[in-house]
Amino acid sequence: MATYSLPPKKEQSSFKKFKKIFILLAVIALYVWTFLGIDIDWTRAVERAASNFHRVIPKLFSPDWAAAGEVSQKILETIFIAFAGSFMAAILAIPLGFLAAKNMSRGKLLSAIGKWILSAIRAFPDIILAILFVVAVGPNAFAGVLAIAIGSTGMLGKLYSEVVESIDMQVVEAMEANGANKVQALFYGVLPQIIPEFLSYAIYRFEIDIRASSILGIVGAGGIGTMIIFAANNRNWNEMGMILLAIIIVVTIIDFISARIRRKIV
Amino acid sequence: MTKQSNSLSQGTTPPIFPVKTKIQVTVIFFVVIGVYLFSMFWTQQQMVGGFGNAIGNMVVVIEKFFPPNLSILPAIWDPMAQTIQMAIIATTVAAVLTVPLALLSAQNITTFKPLYYFTRTLLNILRTIPDLVLAVVFVGLFGIGLFPGIIALIIFSLGILAKLISETIEAVDMNPLEAMRASGGNILQVIFYGLVPQVLPQFTSFVLYVFEINIRASVVLGLVGAGGIGLVLDQQLGFYNYPNAMAIIVLIFVVVLVIEYISNKLREALI
């Protein structure tokens, strides 16, 4: 009878073994730190949940239709904030995207600066930007627009720069060899290659911005978030149910339309 | 062919794009600009003093934030650590819970169609709700503290993670799995020896990605009372203590950058 055995395992270098053990120890240390550090008042949370459950959950599922008018007006404002913000970002991100792209400038310095600016912008959560702009321009929807515009520029700029880096440079070289100047090469060599993907990413970012702008109102930057915070403070969970329903519907519709358009463009 | 050479000989080049496309693009362009202008008008209508005033005001107000009062850093380190711990716990729990959900919403594993559509729809609905809205609801349910924040993060990241991982599962090479089943492996064996090795690197990478998202989300959860550094930020803003608030924002900025850098390096090493 033949004996079955597994093929021999690959020899691992001691450096790799050491690295594995080190990572394992680091992860264990991280978890020990986490579970020792966190303190959750379990009894209080369970008590609260037990007493609040029937007051909150059933009401969330029976939305207050009387608030539908106000909710739809605010959700429209949310869409406007997201649209204006995404549009500004789609424009603002173009120069930054080109700046950060490695193949658009000779030296490495410019693209490094561009990448650094973009990742710095991305490190700010949208809502922190909203706080800054609410203080600057007052608690209104325009603060939300500015927050969305700046916040989206970080991500769009990065995506744009990746698109620019992935273009076929041979076309551009051929044009320059034929005597086209920089502007002509940009317009006829670079732009046709990047416009569909730029558009697609801008629309994709609009999807994300709809979600983002729906919470900006929590810090006073307009949109449906204003109603969320009022409903929560007044414990008006029926109204909260209506707001949640509106957000779910609007986000689903916009995701659907945007996915359709993006599939058509690219 | 002959027609083209004719037009060339006459000195007129044929248009690159057909006329219909041009009209379409022009119409779409003007609609987009129109909606944009209307949005700008709408969002600025409650503003006092209009745009020009706001720009001048902005400079004055931004000056109030500077210089950040960095001497409070030792005092705000504890809530910051708590925020990171929240994100770690939430990501871990979500990573565990996502396994059954991702399997249920992968078309090639869950062959029972109604179940597949049910989990898919559930995840789609889950993903439409922003993290802070979940936090508001859970704060209402569990009271103020870390716990509602963690629950909100878990639910929120579950939606993203399950979708990403189910897509990875759908993209795996099914041949080894079929071979295993054909040679007598049961469903658990097929999953462990056929599916897991193919999915694991992607899985780890996505978990790290969601961890990054959770870090960003957790720093602001406190604004609605769900614990962490956001709570302190909210208080300082409430006292109009802008240099302190700016110090917190700077700390958040640095922590997010550092964690993102580490996580990026790890993800690059994985794939």
Identify which has the larger pLDDT, B58 or A98. Answer: A98
Q: Residue B65: list chain A partners with CB under 8 A.
A: 132, 135
Instruction: Please name each of the domains of chain A with its CATH number.
Output: 64-265 (1.10.3720.10)
- A125–B44: do the CB atoms touch at under 8 Å? no
- Position A253 scores a pLDDT of 92
Q: Taking the CA of residue A213 as centre, how many other CA atoms within 13 Å lie in the half-sphere pointing to its CB?
A: 36
Q: Residue B257: list chain A partners with CB under 8 A.
A: 119-120, 123
The complex scores an ipTM of 0.79
For residue B140, the chain A residue with the least C-alpha distance is: A232
The CATH class, in words, for B70-270 is: mainly alpha
User: Measured between CB atoms, which of B54, B141, B143 is closest to A137?
Assistant: B54
The C-alpha angle B31, B35, B41, rounded to 5 degrees, equals: 145
- Position B17 scores a pLDDT of 72
CATH 1.10.3720.10 residue spans of chain B: 70-270
- Position A2 scores a pLDDT of 61
Averaged pLDDT of chain A: 84
- B237–A252: do the CB atoms touch at under 8 Å? no
**Is residue A97 scored above 70 in pLDDT?**
yes
- Position B5 scores a pLDDT of 46
**Is residue A66 scored above 50 in pLDDT?**
yes
User: Measured between CB atoms, which of A125, A222, A228 is closest to B43?
Assistant: A222
Residue ranges for chain B with pLDDT beneath 50: 1-9
* Residue (of B254, B167, B262, B168) closest to B219 by Cα position: B254
Cβ atoms of residues A129 and A144 within 8 Å? no
- Position A230 scores a pLDDT of 86
Q: Residue A45: list chain B partners with CB under 8 A.
A: 142-143, 145, 147-148
- Position A1 scores a pLDDT of 53
Kindly report the backbone phi and psi dihedral angles of residue A84, in degrees, each rounded to the nearest multiple of 5, phi listed first: -60, -40
Nearest CA-CA distance, residue A169 and chain B, Å? 21
- Position A89 scores a pLDDT of 92
- A81–B39: do the CB atoms touch at under 8 Å? yes
For residue range A9-19, what is the model confidence (pLDDT) as tens digits? 777 677 877 87
Residue A87: band (very low, low, confident or very high) from pLDDT cuts 50, 70, 90: very high
For residue range A209-226, what is the model confidence (pLDDT) as tens digits? 998 888 888 888 888 888
Distances (CA, A) of A158 to B204, B258, B270: 23, 18, 22
Q: Residue A49: list chain B partners with CB under 8 A.
A: 141-142
- Position A153 scores a pLDDT of 92
